[in-house]
Structure 1
């Protein structure tokens, strides 16, 4: 697996993920319906055109969050993460619309060895997602429980 181990992460390193994705109406409909979210802001074009300031559907923010983190996996944690411990400071400063293309970056913010397991450490990432115009559309901090290459005494 190409994922990095705890020891491989350097605080301050920024990953510019090569994977990008254009989001679609189908993404929005499927995700909103699979998560039982009937919000017309995501699934009703007529409602959005006539009753919102946006004039078009917004992408479901939890889809955007998942996509942003998912785009980081290949470069960072594929096969080397034990679990996600949490996500904090989640924000969506600009809207993401159907047809927008998303790119993402990840910065290593902090890391420490686990207090409960000698074979693991905790890495804190800051993930950021941008649309095709370079506008920040999502940002969050994520704490990931990571495997270590070597076990410390």
Structure 2
């Protein structure tokens, strides 16, 4: 019998074009939305005031888009970057084409778009990932393109 340590994938194990479907989905509650919004000092009534939001174009409160983004990226960690990431380098683009509402479930997937060995950091490489979030109806609610600095397997296992 051996031991299996949960981890993400190393730079060497990622192939351009691969799509990872992450599980589980995340049903977002009104409490999640209010807590995250107040925790991050966002006073936007669109997330906190149901009466006011009812009179706005969407007719009800929206889930804070920063919560949606954080959950979208976070859902990829166990499968892609747990223990194999050096750093999150940044986002090329972030889009929210459709609202996420309290009570909706966010389903996430990640596609490997590009990868290259780092010129300045031996044993590491830069991976470009597109994260896509859909609601329970399959409608895209969030998408982002992200650059991540990852460990190469051989270098990291020996350090």
Smaller-chain TM-score range? Answer: over 0.9
Q: CA-atom RMSD, angstroms?
A: 0.8
Query: Gapped runs of 5+ residues in structure 2?
Result: 1-5
Give the structure 2 partner of residue 149 of structure 1: 153
Match of 2:66 among 51, 62, 68: 62
Distance 2:36 2:62 in 1: 12
Determine which of 32, 35, 38 is the counterpart of 2:40.
35
- Kindly indicate whether residue 9 of structure 2 is the aligned counterpart of residue 4 of structure 1: yes
SS in 2 for 1:27: helix
1:55-134 correspondence runs (5 A): 55-134=59-138
TM normalised by structure 2 equals 0.92
The normalised TM-score by structure 1 is 0.95
Partner of 1:48: 53
User: Size of the alignment, in residue pairs?
Assistant: 150
Structure 1: which 5+ residue stretches go unaligned? none
Of 136, 142, 147, the residue aligned with 1:138 is 142
Q: Which of 18, 24, 29 is the aligned partner of 1:24?
A: 29
SS of the equivalent of 2:153 reads coil
Measured after TM superposition, the shift of residue 9 of structure 1 is 0.4
